[in-house]
Amino acid sequence: ITRWWRQINTVGCCYFQGSRSCRLLTSTVIMLKSKTFVKKTRSGGVLKIVREHYLRDDIWCGSEVCTECKQESTVLQRDTCIESNLCAYPHYLIPDTNVVLHQIDVLEDPVIRNVIILQTVLQEVRHRSAPVYKRIKDIIHEKEKHFYTFTNEHHRETFIEREPGESANDRNDRAIRVAATWYTQHLKTSESAADGLKVVLLTNDQGNKQKAAESGLLVFKCEEYIKSLIANPELVDRLALTNDEKNEITSSKVLFPEHLPLSRIQAGIKSGSFLQGTFRASRDNYLEATVFVPGEGEDSTEVLLQGLQNLNRAVHQDVVAVQLLPRDHWVAPSSVVLQDEGMAKDENPEEEEEEKAVSVKPTGKVVGIIKRNWRPFCGMLNVSQIKESTRHLFTPADRRIPRIRIETRQASTLAGQRIMVAIDGWPKDSRYPNGHFVRSLGGAGEKDTEEEVLLLEHDVPHQAFSQAVLSFLPKMPWAITPEDMKQRQDLRQLTVCSVDPPGCTDIDDALHCRELDNGNLEVGVHIADVSHFIRPGNALDKEAANRGTTVYLCGKRIDMVPELLSSNLCSLRSNVERLAFSCIWEMNHEAEILKTWFTKSIINSKASLTYAEAQMRIDDTTMNDDITKSLRGLNKLAKILKRRRIENGALTLSSLEVRFHIDSETHDPIDLQTKELMETNSMVEEFMLLANISVAQKIYDEFSECALLRKHPAPPPSNYDILIKAAKSKNVAIHTDSAKALADSLDMATVDSFPYFNTLLRILATRCMMQAVYFCSGMDSDFHHYGLASPIYTHFTSPIRRYSDIIVHRLLAVAIGADSTYPDLMDKHKQSALCNNLNYRHKMAQYAQRASVAFHTQLFFKTRGVLNEEGFVLFVRKNAIIVLIPKFGMEGTVFFDSKDKTAPNLVFDEEGPTLTVEQHTFHIFDKVKVTISLDASNIQHQKIRMALIDPVISGVSVPAEDLEPQSKKSKLDR
């Protein structure tokens, strides 16, 4: 390693990361200093590292007006195109580190251009905030922004040594001033002097500003410069508040306890007097939250927080330190729904005394913030009633986020729009956090706007792929090369076909089945070879790893990889040659595996079928072509495989998926139906499961420490309480000792004259399950997949839409000698960190998909008025029933207490569970009839409202409206 570093630096190869002036430099180089140190590796070895710092004289200024620098291309423009009252001359901006960190929203605005980002600043930002670092790097890569990275730390005339007694922060401030001075002098000697082109330093540090002014630099505070811009007064709203301004907005009354300093927090956590965990705000009660304190295995705990003072300015997902209250102060979670209406009270919701005694939880208070997890939040502005006021409250779309006080002069324009706001701080004497306007997203309720909101709120990366990413795509026209042919098995002669949903363009998988000469069957699962096109560590790979998964919304797809790959070169379309990774088995006619092998291959799919088309071929006895024979063979084997899986204890659960029929012109939903599954859905699923299990075993056998696997933990027994009670109400017993016991009892769960009962029970069983997760084999010992009853499992079959599968392909390729390895692939710690990101991205993708279905359901009911539908009670609450409407695959809540009328007599029995409303008692799975309508009274939180028609309860039920011809009304007599 030492030799390698010396060799690189001796020939003078230097790469300045982040700059668009990056290139191979071979001019005069001086080695300034060399630092050698020894580092211990994770495996216990010792690594000698040599770091050498070189200075150069050929790092150019990047300005197109400069005649001194011998630069091939420039970034900074001659005409800087920005008018300011403070700077009536053309100028470039040099922001210091804190301006970049805190005013990134301003820097992202299109009006801010021709900015010099110093290497000193970039390095400090990288160490202090990964999200801001990514955003500033993205700005640098935008050509139209004209941001130039100047590598001042390697420039002979701008590098400075740290002086004795000087802090690192003061040294960096001085380095920024030295670089600004160099630019000022450098541009004076060029043609720019005639144009009056100057350099302006932006800093909010009073000491730095004073020293810069004393050395003759043009320097302004960021705020005064932004306020001076003539044509863009709205840019002021995007300014983050400085510490001085935060104090102006608050009152003199102290509302919250002081947060403890980090040193006291760390000491308290070490001694056990404080606990560290993640703050999780309640959606239903703004005065309540929990803090999840992770522990070993089952030892994780949850601390309940109630009251504003105990929440103490923590925001959802912050990492906080909590102190437990004495046991006699512990309370039970509130059952009251309480939205923040703006009152500054600090009351705990009233609760029944006997309830507290039954279910009190460890209760505490926040004593300090360890890490803020603030992000820009979507929501709407509550315009102040005070005339001409510039201070307003912003209400986030996420009910778990507190309202935010912002200052804006655009209130009348922003009213009725979805906007983004960032939090700047939350002083102890302010009821709400202070923040600033970031940008407008569009009119509330508009389809494009709401789609953008749900993507942002669920942290789904959806920006267009950058040029850096696209540069790693293969050049078109692309074709399979003779070299590819040599390294792969040629399977083009096989009758391979794909079976997918209608309109699918990202075809990951294809299948074949044929009879061998020895009477056995050969079955192949052929998966798109995405890892051939995405090589480890490049920009395309990093982007795919960050996105983690393709996200499918209603009528829209956010790809994990660029469309050239997802819908073209990787997609296993029919009648074109494609690269594949094949998993092939030799089986007997009882679907018993005799031999398994894996190979990189070339295939030519003979047909791209939908599930319905494949089913039609299987069922049509007049069809006997090779494709149909292959499908019939696959279907026959799949039925045997499924039966065997279920006999081994695999669960067959149920969830209603809906399909929207979209108007081709308006793109609004015109019909809503539940998806029907066919035999061919199950056929494809069985072979995907089999391939995933076969590959999981292979990569674990080869790489026991770093295989990327997927597990499904068994649910804790308490999860099944509601399922057992629901079945018991119909005199059906459910056994949950094992997956096999649960599967068997679900199979036997039937009620005469109520055939839909079993489906409802399986829907409820699905809600009891834990989330399946990715993990690294070297970091865990429990591999079992509960739902599939499989001892080992992974994901191999969808690399176009899941990054986990790309890693699994790479592991398998190394295992069979088809590709070479690389360090990160064999590093279990990095694999584990990757798994954490993939689990997060998959979870957020699921939530985004559900939110998209909910929004399109609202659009569907927006034009329908009120509909009468039959459904079933799925859950019983203290003041409501939750009803499932099978026709639409949707759920809604029928509330029995409302603000505008007297509440009926309600009696809730938790043991049942049952809810008695006046004289009628509701049980889980009772059939009911309800009206369904859209409640759009709160434009930000529109929801489906249900009201009871049948059973008729005096003062509670509403009369049925005869909305449809009798023949069209839905009946649920099953």
pTM of the predicted protein model:
0.81
Q: Which stretches does DSSP call E strand in 695-844?
A: 708-711, 773-776
CB 480, CB 577: distance < 8 Å: yes
**Residue 755: pLDDT over 60:** yes
Predicted local distance difference test score (pLDDT) of residue 12: 35
CB 552, CB 534: distance < 8 Å: no
Predicted local distance difference test score (pLDDT) of residue 880: 87
Assign 357 a pLDDT band (cuts: 50, 70, 90).
Answer: very low
Task: Choose between 135 and 195: higher pLDDT.
Answer: 135
Predicted local distance difference test score (pLDDT) of residue 604: 96
Coil, helix or strand for 548?
coil
Q: What angle do CA 272, 278, 283 make, to 5 degrees?
A: 135
Q: For residue range 553-563, what is the model confidence (pLDDT) as tens digits?
A: 988 899 999 99
Mean pLDDT of 755-768: 87
User: Which two structure tokens, joined as six digits, stand for 409?
Assistant: 């002069």
**Residue 255: pLDDT over 50:** yes
Predicted local distance difference test score (pLDDT) of residue 493: 95
Predicted local distance difference test score (pLDDT) of residue 656: 63
Predicted local distance difference test score (pLDDT) of residue 82: 83
Written as one letter, the residue type at 649 is G
Predicted local distance difference test score (pLDDT) of residue 664: 60
The percentage of the chain sitting over the pLDDT mark of 70, rounded to a whole number, equals 88
Kindly give the residue spans of alpha helices, DSSP state H, lying in 189-318: 192-195, 206-214, 222-227, 243-249, 262-271, 308-311
Predicted local distance difference test score (pLDDT) of residue 958: 86
> CA 499 to CA 511: how far, in whole Å?
8
Coil, helix or strand for 132?
helix
> CA 803 to CA 547: how far, in whole Å?
8
Closest CA relative to residue 559, chosen from 162, 887, 862, 845: 845
**What secondary structure does DSSP assign to 784-823, as a single string?**
-BTTTTBS-----S-TTTBHHHHHHHHHHHHHTTSS---G
Count of C-beta atoms within a 10 Å radius of residue 600: 21
**Residue 259: pLDDT over 70:** yes
- Mean pLDDT, all residues of the chain: 86
Coil, helix or strand for 604?
strand
> CA 748 to CA 728: how far, in whole Å?
14
> CA 554 to CA 124: how far, in whole Å?
42
**Residue 767: pLDDT over 90:** no
Phi, psi at 880, each rounded to 5°: -160, 165
Contacts of 607 (CB under 8 A, 6+ apart): 497, 498, 574, 627
Q: For residue range 62-91, what is the model confidence (pLDDT) as tens digits?
A: 998 888 888 888 899 888 878 888 888 899
Predicted local distance difference test score (pLDDT) of residue 968: 37
Q: Could you tell me the CATH superfamily of domain 51-238?
A: 5'-nuclease (3.40.50.1010)
Mean pLDDT of 100-127: 93
Mean pLDDT of 371-381: 91
Predicted local distance difference test score (pLDDT) of residue 181: 95
Task: Choose between 65 and 587: higher pLDDT.
Answer: 587
Q: Which range in 218-227, 713-722, 942-951 is most confidently predicted, on average pLDDT?
A: 218-227
Predicted local distance difference test score (pLDDT) of residue 891: 85
Q: For residue range 396-410, what is the model confidence (pLDDT) as tens digits?
A: 999 899 999 998 888
CB 415, CB 381: distance < 8 Å: yes
Architecture of domain 865-950: Beta Barrel (2.40)
Predicted local distance difference test score (pLDDT) of residue 3: 34
Q: For residue range 5-26, what is the model confidence (pLDDT) as tens digits?
A: 333 333 333 333 333 333 334 4
Mean pLDDT of 30-56: 78
> CA 903 to CA 337: how far, in whole Å?
15
**Residue 366: pLDDT over 70:** yes
Q: For residue range 666-706, what is the model confidence (pLDDT) as tens digits?
A: 666 656 666 677 899 999 999 999 999 999 999 999 999 99
Coil, helix or strand for 9?
helix
Mean pLDDT of 530-539: 96
Predicted local distance difference test score (pLDDT) of residue 52: 83
Predicted local distance difference test score (pLDDT) of residue 473: 96
Contacts of 852 (CB under 8 A, 6+ apart): 451, 454, 553, 554, 556
> CA 317 to CA 294: how far, in whole Å?
14
Domain borders along the chain are: 51-238, 467-704+794-844, 865-950
Q: Which stretches does DSSP call E strand in 28-90?
A: 29-40, 46-56
Predicted local distance difference test score (pLDDT) of residue 346: 42
Mean pLDDT of 888-900: 81
DSSP 328: G
